[in-house]
Amino acid sequence: MTLHTLFVCKSCSAILDHEEADDRAEGNQLFLKLLEAQKNNPIYGTLNIESVGCLWTCVEKRSCVVTFVCPQKYTYHFVDLTEDSTTELLQFSQLYQESQDGYVLPPKLPGTLRSHLLARIPPTPEAIAKT
């Protein structure tokens, strides 16, 4: 089975400086809400959700940042999210996992995610050649 991972920046915050980020940071709160929603709905059980110290997007003053990655698939980087983005992110995870190459048409992005998409990065050429 292919491993689909959602990385959540736990230090993202619109109110706390990066050095001061702690459990109150919005990124950490989003991470916890995602884990809780996943636990309560087994359909999302195949998604690996991991917190990371920093996704280096706060330099651009963007809060609550997540990245979807999977070998041989497009990578998606979403910014300026809130705890309310939990359902939309998990809905997107289903579309992402069901897609052979990870490409999800922009009109299919759930809710407001389209306006929060900062980057969609193609798979490496070696991965494309193997598919």
CATH number, position 22 = 3.40.30.10
Residue 86 is predicted with a pLDDT of 96
Q: What per-residue confidence (pLDDT) applies to 55?
A: 80
Domain that holds residue 47: 4-130
Mention every residue, 6+ apart, whose C-beta is less than 8 A from residue 33.
83, 86
Statement: residue 127 has pLDDT above 90:
no
15-52 per-position pLDDT tens digit: 545 455 555 578 888 999 999 999 999 999 999 999 99
Strands lying side by side in the sheet with 47-52: 47-52, 4-9, 66-69, 75-78, 117-121
The CA–CA distances, whole Å, from 95 to 41, 47, 90, 98 equal 16, 12, 9, 5
Lowest mean pLDDT: which of 3-7, 21-25, 124-128?
Answer: 21-25
- The total domain count for the chain is 1
| Model confidence pLDDT, tens digit, residues 50-108 | 999 878 776 556 678 999 999 999 999 999 998 899 999 999 999 999 999 999 999 99
Rounded to two decimals, what is the model's pTM?
0.85
